[in-house]
Amino acid sequence: MSEISKEISRRRTFAIISHPDAGKTTLTEKLLLYGRAIQSAGSVKGKQNDRHAVSDWMEIEKKRGISITSSVLQFEYDGYCINILDTPGHQDFSEDTYRTLTAADSVVMVIDAAKGIEPQTRKLFKVCAMRNIPIFTFINKMDREARDSFELLDELEKEFGIGTYPMNWPIGCGTDFKGVFDREKRRILTFSDSHAGSDRIKAIECELSDAEKLDTLIGPYMRETLVDEIELLDGASFDFDIEKVRTGKLSPVFFGSALNNFGVEPFLENFLKMTTEPLSYRSGEEYISPTTEGFSAFVFKIQANMNKAHRDRIAFMRICSGKFERSKEYFHVQGGKAIKLSRPQQMMASEREVIDEAYAGDIIGVFDPGIFSIGDTICEKGMKVEYAGIPTFAPEHFALVEQIDSLKRKQFDKGITQIAQEGAIQMFFLPDSGMERVYVGVVGMLQFDVLQFRMESEYGVKYHKQDTAHCLVRFAEGDVDMKRLNLMQSTKWVKDRRGRDLLLFTAEYEINWALEKNEGLVLKEFSQVQEI
């Protein structure tokens, strides 16, 4: 195996997704602890003290005077080179969160055991399912009161249409949480809650058949329940099939408590064994394997600088094949030009570092003088490759944006068009009106703030914004005359940049109404049709 192939095969690039508060930051921190990428618990999130948030670039960059928000954390563990992609949630949730998932080879879904599937997990899962990438589930907070484990699995299977395979099985929960049964090794690991914050837990191991020892560890009642549940599980659950795991059809499930370090290490070890090496990406009709000769990458995110003093932007790219070398000249396919990527950098746990080389599976951020767009391909000169564009994701919030000062009309048009082209917002037009009033659609409310800030600081334009109640968007197809459509009053007909017809709705029943009243109208989901 060549040196490059060896480097690529040890890469594991994944994203951790969850609904806010399920434990994504805590799990990330514990994984970094095992990789010795950080020294102490609490350094990922500096709520109580002033230690900065490792995975929260925005905070770090604010301190340094520039703003980048999230990207990727890289660390070594047991011979693997691990890239954890940060998927901003909370108030930072935006279309970038979705786009980031296009750069991951697998996903770890953190679920709060007391809550089960929550709205943000649902949204993020949909994007992962579109790509058929492996999905691992970590059911967290078993040290608290939890929902029935069978019920949680059932919910995952029914809602997400995937199979689940519990790798371990919890013994009690909350104050009665005694540990887990490891299904592969057929033994139990006991839990004591005195491990919080410590490096590694020392688990006590015991065979399921050792009734006497088990009785002393978890008591006869819990032992009996466990034996019954394992019997039920062995008989009723899906068979383990690694191919199904690797294509996202079967999700290995781990129960644990990230805060207490319980179940994190077995999770990491099993995950690394089961998940995939860097995946191939589509270019035209072909799939480009990561070991294909020559460097190639695509831009999945562009982060404009919010600070006036630093106008530059950073383009984040996922390397799809070969090796990146800092000094080399590469080719920007969409721009048709040779380029040098300046100041390429990676996030190494707590520090952002300028790097000299990187491999397929890695993510690099480069300074963008305004030449890149989301979805662009950069590759070795002479390589024939152009990666399939990144889909735009259905906006969930809309506002009618109207220019105030007609003398600044040109700046308004230019600004809003450019910001939309960069993918920071989506723009829709009223069919019989010009650019002075447009609909802006976003995935996360933060994008509205970014728009306002940039319009004022970069283009010197203020505008009037009226939020609307629309939250659903569909492409209108089929053989219909848009002007004659029979729609509810709140439904809005708009056009996208390419002149395609869309309808904005405020609720699901409005969509049904439109379909019932207009024969021949076909409504298509947004992200299945659209590519930037």
Residue ranges binding ligand G4P (CB under 6 A): 18, 20-26, 45, 47, 140-141, 143-144, 257-260
Least separation in angstroms between residue 43's CB and ligand G4P is 12
Least separation in angstroms between residue 199's CB and ligand G4P is 16
Residue 118 or 229: the one with the smaller Cβ distance to ligand G4P is: 118
Dihedral sign, Cα of residue 495, residue 501, residue 505, residue 508:
negative
Distances (CA, A) of 257 to 112, 195, 218, 242, 480: 10, 10, 18, 25, 55
Least separation in angstroms between residue 33's CB and ligand G4P is 13
Least separation in angstroms between residue 148's CB and ligand G4P is 18
Residue 260 or 305: the one with the smaller Cβ distance to ligand G4P is: 260
CA–CA separation, 283 vs 50, rounded Å?
45
Residue 190 or 260: the one with the smaller Cβ distance to ligand G4P is: 260
CA–CA separation, 152 vs 399, rounded Å?
37
Least separation in angstroms between residue 437's CB and ligand G4P is 38
Residue 43 or 260: the one with the smaller Cβ distance to ligand G4P is: 260
φ, ψ dihedrals at 170, nearest 5°: -75, 150
Q: What totals of helices (H) and strands (E) does the chain contain, helices first? A: 13, 31
Residue 177 or 330: the one with the smaller Cβ distance to ligand G4P is: 177
CA dihedral 223, 228, 230, 235 (to 10 degrees): 170
Distances (CA, A) of 379 to 105, 286, 293, 376: 20, 16, 11, 10
Least separation in angstroms between residue 306's CB and ligand G4P is 23
Using CB atoms within 10 Å of the CB of residue 21, give its burial: 0 to 12 exposed, 13 to 18 middle, 19+ buried: middle
Least separation in angstroms between residue 353's CB and ligand G4P is 24
Q: Say if strands 106-112 and 11-18 run parallel, antiparallel, or are unpaired.
A: parallel
Alpha helices (H) along 219-324: 220-236, 242-246, 264-274
CB 495 within 8 A of CB 483: no
Residue 124 or 314: the one with the smaller Cβ distance to ligand G4P is: 124
Residue 112 or 368: the one with the smaller Cβ distance to ligand G4P is: 112
